[in-house]
Structure 1
């Protein structure tokens, strides 16, 4: 039986909208609006959806880089929201992040060696030459060389910078890594190298990934299970093969219909969604997808569908109530 590493319960993150001289709160942007899911030890959970659906905010909120508005984040049974100061700092070693932009996530004032050694210094791990050996070891693990430690981030390509970011995340021997669109800023040829590196590291160090992306082909390649987000909520969560072969939610069907097929002789039926994504500051009543759904029913306009188990997967849709 799979052991849960992280359990997310009713997670919400609202950003206040303030106006006027006194910055009075007049509303909220509901970036994450009630998530429930589990990440199991050793798996890769993919999280996909349109830009602005709350994927990155979800990852940052799980790691407590953003404070949740409501809900629970249980790491090995401990609620991270109850932890403060030194207690949370100890757990930081187990929870790391690879950021989306390899150009903005590395301090240009520090050498690569100093960047990778910084978390070791903060947590008082290794000293002197041992720390230098650890930095060299991490560089080699991600496909770089020890002499790269003396260079600065601007001297590297985008793919090499992302490898440095991965080495920095690995420095403290974490258990969970949140990879926030780690290949979206890279060329296609480099994307495959970084994806293969992440898979090799997962096997070597027994890592667990939350892999956030909008490229459905990349997510299928690396993930064990996939969650589909729309306007702050997960609308479908299933094993990757089940989800890609037989999607249940209308939004998932529309997303997958847009994935290109590398065979010009095969013609796919494209499902084109009508209208624009509603504002998370003023989401539609009932099911938030109903204004764009071709299978919308009267109940969809008034009642929010429950995120429930259906045939071994989870889906939030009145079609299966």
Structure 2
């Protein structure tokens, strides 16, 4: 690993709340509220958190599939938010995304060969024979056969469709891939196959991943570092083993306590959080987690903690470590 491939700096995304006949803006949903991190070449950064915490929105902002409210994203040192459309079109070859739903992300009217050939046609890579050869290579790369190319998406299982989605992502030889919950719609037995495929492809092709998921055990299996998100912010980020063994933030510890332990005699202590996740349209003052935190102090209610570095490259946003 050498240097950051991607740097996300204080990125925000607010969606307007509109009401009335004139669709007047009456408020903002703060989906992502000042997220910063970097991803080094060849590594996997995992993003975890409850539903609605802003993980997928962060991934889309990193690819500029959404325009930000504020902040910047540097890909190989270039701020992609400042690029003209044609410049952005060229850089998209290096930045791809695997979508969550393998049923909705493939065009049902196209054969698999047409689906995999489409990015090659758009970017004018090769001629007809070389494109068909590339499609065959891609199918073999993800564990499928060349005869699958004449079939349509509805003729495949969920796991096979996700393999096709992965093959399409690889068509342009990208450097960065956002994996937006790529196994959450699959059976558990198929999940492990797809995860192992992603790890194998990373080793063979030198890929860099941002892996977004709910399951902490899944993220631990594939990630070098893990960032924990809560209500649009990263509250903790550290090496995978360090986070799972020595989580600092109360929210991270609560998430880890909910991970099932494959031992019927083990009875780990569960941390039960009270209350509901606050609305991103009206987040609480101070630390966003203080309304549910079992270790809340008075300063937590009025002052928002910053993400600060602890020994061992462990970063946490909590007043108890200030």
Same fold at TM > 0.5: yes
Q: What residue in structure 1 maps to residue 196 of structure 2?
A: 196
Q: Using the alignment, how far apart are the partners of 1:2 and 1:316 within structure 2?
A: 26
Query: How many Å apart are 1:2 and its aligned residue?
Result: 3.3
Q: Using the alignment, how far apart are the partners of 1:24 and 1:84 within structure 2?
A: 31
Per-residue CA distance 1:247-299 (angstroms, 9 max, x = gap): 00000000000001000111100000000000000000000000000100011
Q: What residue in structure 2 maps to residue 105 of structure 1?
A: 105
Q: What residue in structure 1 maps to residue 303 of structure 2?
A: 303
Q: Using the alignment, how far apart are the partners of 1:31 and 1:270 within structure 2?
A: 28
SS of the equivalent of 2:28 reads strand
After TM superposition, list the pairs within 5 Å mapping 1:1-321 onto structure 2.
2-311=2-311, 312-321=313-322
Q: Using the alignment, how far apart are the partners of 1:238 and 1:2 within structure 2?
A: 18
User: Which segments of 5 or more consecutive residues in structure 1 lack a partner in the other structure?
Assistant: none
SS of the equivalent of 1:255 reads helix
Show structure 1 runs of 4+ deviating over 3 A.
none
User: Which segments of 5 or more consecutive residues in structure 2 lack a partner in the other structure?
Assistant: none
Q: Provide the aligned C-alpha RMSD in A.
A: 0.7
TM-score (structure 2 length as normaliser): 0.99
Q: Using the alignment, how far apart are the partners of 2:36 and 2:286 within structure 1?
A: 18
Q: Which moved more, 1:306-315 or 1:74-83?
A: 306-315
Per-residue CA distance 1:106-162 (angstroms, 9 max, x = gap): 010111111111111111111111000000100000000101111100000000000
- Matched residues, number: 321
SS of the equivalent of 1:291 reads coil
Query: How many Å apart are 1:72 and its aligned residue?
Result: 0.5
Query: How many Å apart are 1:310 and its aligned residue?
Result: 1.2
